[in-house]
Structure formats: C-alpha cells, structure tokens
C-alpha cells in the first residue's frame, strides 16, 4: 500500500468514525511523520523495534510532550487497527505517566484589572465571556447569536471537545455587556466576528489578552486558557461542588477537574500555619 493511499484511507476512516476535523488533522499530521520515518522500510512489515525506535526518537530527540506522545500512540494504533486491519503491536501497549502541572491562576483582582484596562467593547466582551463561563478559546469562537438564552440565563455550548454539548450559566453582567456589544457591532451569525464577518481568529484573541496583560502590569506567566483555569478555581474558592464545576467545564472525568483543588484557597485558607503561633 502506497504512502498516499494509507493517508487517504486513514483520514476517510477517521471521518466515518465521526472524529472532529481538528482531531483528523492532528492525527493525519502525526501519521505523515511516522510514515516519513519508516519510508525506507516496507510499511506493511514494520517491526516492533522500528516502532519502538520511532517512539524513542519522538521522546528523546523531538522532546514530545505527554499529550504529543499520546497522539503518536493513538495514531499508530488507529493505523494498524482501522487501516491495516492488523492486531495492534504489543510495543504500543504503553501507559504513559502523566506529569502533574498545576495551572497558573489569575486572582479575581487580576481579572478585574484586565477588564478595567480593556476599553474596546469587543475585546472586553471576549475576555469576560471566556472568564464568566470557563470557555475554551474554540468554544468562544464558535458561539452563535442563537446560543445565548436570555430567558433561562444560559449559554449553549455546542459540539465542544469530545463532540459534546453543554450549558453554562449566563451572568447578568455578561448579558448587559452582550446587549451593548450587539447594538454597536451587530454581528450576523457568530457572537464574535472578524471585520468582514465570519469567525474571529484565535491569534486575535491571544493578542487581545496579551495587550490587556501588558497594560494591567500583571507579570504572571499566563495564557488565554488561564481565564478558564481561573473560572474553575474561583468557583471552588466560593465553595461550589466540584461535580458542578466538572459539568460546567465539560470534563469527561472528575479527575481532570480535581487538579483545581490543588490551587484553590478554599481549604488552604482554613488551615492555620504553625508560624502564626510563634512570638516573634
């Protein structure tokens, strides 16, 4: 089977199985790199050693992250199981150890500063929408006018990560800002649109956030996604049940949401440091 035929079959099967276009694109990219690695071999007779050498190359030479290594493994498994229709090589039976990194969180005061220094209404609406509902960037960019339900005070997040729908709360402050925003910009389809209509770009959102960060004087190493982290942590700080937060974030597993318990001050602030007992 020729390289291009393998790629075509791979993409076709992934789409049949209803993988998102983003996932198909990422898997196809990983597949091309793998096929390029084994291009000197007969791809129908790749040995376990060949695969192991490639995995080692990805980890040690390319310094792939945990998520990138997961993607490589999933891609090769899919290749064997769904394209070659062969047993999955045992060398792929790997359980990667997931590193634990605590998310960097902005305080409520930091969030207020970001909004205060952002005077452009569209830019302020972008930042407030992401923070108020813990949105991923893609979820913000895919929001349409009809997804805002001012009667039930909910926002409908459609076909997010994992092709799942969910509802999040609609803040009164957000609704007020959205009404002012709509009057001024009059979007046609998406809530946040580019100058010529259509979806707003991810790079523009990142630029908005970086500008606000610089103006506010906040020096924490944060990204747009930190607004989502901050949303979850602030809910925990206020005593919100973690299972509700899981639903609001659209997490499949509770373990994913529990990372925020390590950065929340809800429990930590209840504990008195022994240093407070010292007479100094």
Domains, the chain: 3-92 (1.10.150.130), 108-268 (1.10.443.10)
Pick from 204, 180, 208, 177: nearest CA to 193: 204
Catalytic pick among 136, 154, 199, 266: 136
**Distance separating alpha carbons of residues 235 and 242, to the nearest angstrom:** 9
Kindly report the backbone phi and psi dihedral angles of residue 237, in degrees, each rounded to the nearest multiple of 5, phi listed first. -60, -35
What is the per-residue pLDDT across 68-98, written as a single tens digit (0 to 9) for each? 999 999 999 999 999 999 999 999 999 998 8
**Distance separating alpha carbons of residues 130 and 125, to the nearest angstrom:** 9
Q: What is the pTM of this model?
A: 0.76
Neighbours of 250 (CB within 10 A): 20
| Listed range (151-160, 232-241, 255-264) with the worst mean pLDDT | 255-264
Two tokens, residue 119: 């005077």
Kindly report the backbone phi and psi dihedral angles of residue 154, in degrees, each rounded to the nearest multiple of 5, phi listed first. -135, 155
Instruction: Establish whether 98 is a catalytic residue.
Output: no
Of residues 8 and 268, more confidently modeled: 8
Q: Is 80 exceeded by the pLDDT of residue 255? A: yes
Catalytic pick among 82, 154, 161, 215: 161
Instruction: Establish whether 85 is a catalytic residue.
Output: no
Pick from 35, 42, 34: nearest CA to 69: 34
Instruction: Establish whether 185 is a catalytic residue.
Output: no
Q: Is 80 exceeded by the pLDDT of residue 253? A: yes
Task: Locate all alpha helices (DSSP H) within the chain, ordered by sequence.
Answer: 3-16, 21-37, 48-56, 66-78, 108-116, 121-133, 137-142, 172-185, 202-216, 225-237, 242-249, 254-257, 265-268
**What are the C-alpha distances in Å from 153 to residues 160, 179, 185, 251?**
20, 13, 22, 22
Confidence category of residue 102, pLDDT binned at 50, 70, 90: confident
* pLDDT score, position 148: 95
Neighbours of 134 (CB within 10 A): 23
Catalytic pick among 123, 228, 229, 234: 228
Instruction: Establish whether 166 is a catalytic residue.
Output: no
Burial class (CB in 10 A: 0-12, 13-18, 19+), 222: buried
What is the per-residue pLDDT across 36-76, written as a single tens digit (0 to 9) for each? 888 766 655 788 999 999 999 999 999 999 999 999 999 99
Burial readout 139-171 (b: 16 or more C-beta within 10 A, e: otherwise): bbbbbeeebbeeeeebbbbeebbeeeebebebb
Instruction: Establish whether 243 is a catalytic residue.
Output: no
What is the per-residue pLDDT across 154-213, written as a single tens digit (0 to 9) for each? 999 998 887 789 999 999 999 999 999 999 999 999 999 998 888 999 999 999 999 999
Mean predicted lDDT score pLDDT of the chain = 91
CA 45 to chain centre: 37
* pLDDT score, position 266: 66
The end-to-end CA distance of the chain, in Å, is 77
* pLDDT score, position 118: 97
Two tokens, residue 46: 């790749």
Catalytic pick among 77, 158, 166, 225: 225
Instruction: Establish whether 156 is a catalytic residue.
Output: no
Strand-by-strand arrangement of the 154-160 sheet: 148-149, 154-160, 164-169
């Amino acid at each position: 089977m020729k390289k291009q035929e393998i790629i075509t079959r791979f993409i076709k099967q992934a789409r049949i199985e209803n993988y998102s276009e983003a996932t198909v694109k990422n898997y196809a990219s990983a597949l091309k790199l793998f096929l390029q690695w084994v291009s000197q071999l007969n791809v129908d007779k790749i040995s376990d050693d060949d695969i192991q050498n490639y995995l080692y190359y990805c980890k040690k030479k390319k310094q792939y992250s945990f998520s990138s290594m997961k993607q490589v493994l999933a891609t090769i498994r899919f290749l064997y199981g769904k394209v070659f229709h062969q047993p999955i090589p045992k060398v792929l039976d790997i359980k990667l150890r997931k590193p634990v990194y605590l998310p960097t969180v902005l305080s409520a005061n930091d969030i207020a500063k970001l909004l205060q220094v952002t005077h452009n209404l569209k830019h302020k609406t972008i930042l407030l929408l992401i923070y108020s509902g813990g949105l991923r960037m893609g979820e913000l960019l895919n929001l349409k006018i009809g997804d805002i339900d001012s009667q039930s005070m909910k926002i409908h997040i459609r076909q997010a990560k994992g092709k799942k729908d969910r509802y999040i709360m609609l803040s009164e402050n957000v609704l007020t800002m959205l009404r002012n925003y709509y009057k001024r910009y009059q979007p046609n389809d998406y809530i946040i649109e580019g100058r010529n209509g259509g979806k707003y770009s991810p790079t523009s959102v990142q630029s908005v956030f970086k500008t606000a960060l610089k103006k506010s004087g906040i020096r924490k190493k944060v990204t747009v996604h930190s607004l989502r982290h901050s949303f979850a942590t602030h809910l925990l700080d206020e005593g919100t049940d973690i299972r509700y937060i899981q639903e609001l974030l659209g997490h499949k597993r509770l373990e994913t949401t529990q990372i925020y318990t390590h950065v929340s001050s809800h429990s930590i602030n209840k504990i008195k440091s022994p240093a407070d007992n010292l007479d100094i």
